[in-house]
């Protein structure tokens, strides 16, 4: 019985470790940055503002999202940079 519990606990820990590694790889690959960039452009489009974002990065240390090479335009004018 004890051996089965040990094998079960090790299996669960291994799955958790694989999940953490997968999340780390996903974050470092830039796929999350691309997803967030698309969502920001869609959010601007929903309110009638055109937006183009060249590149973007998510910083989890200070929970900020920085977009570079961006152009945001609407009925009032154009914004060249924002954070």
DSSP labels for 20-36?
A: HHHHHHHHHHTHHHHHH
Average pLDDT score, the chain:
80
Residue 47: both structure tokens together: 């309110």
**Averaged pLDDT, 55-79:** 67
Residue whose pair of structure tokens reads 């606990």 in the numeric block:
9
First to last CA, the chain: 57
User: What is the C-alpha separation between 8 and 26, in angstroms, rounded?
Assistant: 27
Residue 12: both structure tokens together: 């669960």
Name the more confident of 19 and 29. Answer: 19
Grade residue 72 by pLDDT with cuts at 50, 70 and 90: low
**Averaged pLDDT, 10-26:** 95
User: What is the C-alpha separation between 50 and 27, in angstroms, rounded?
Assistant: 27
The pLDDT score that the predictor gives to residue 79 is 57
**Averaged pLDDT, 49-64:** 75
């Amino acid at each position: 019985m004890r051996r089965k519990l040990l094998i079960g606990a090790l299996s669960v820990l291994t799955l958790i470790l694989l999940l953490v590694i997968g999340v780390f790889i996903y974050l470092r690959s830039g796929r999350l940055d691309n997803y967030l960039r698309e969502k920001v452009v869609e959010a601007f489009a929903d309110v009638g503002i055109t937006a183009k974002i060249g590149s973007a990065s998510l910083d989890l240390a200070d929970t900020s999202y920085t977009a570079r090479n961006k152009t945001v335009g609407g009925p009032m004018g154009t914004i060249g940079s924002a954070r």
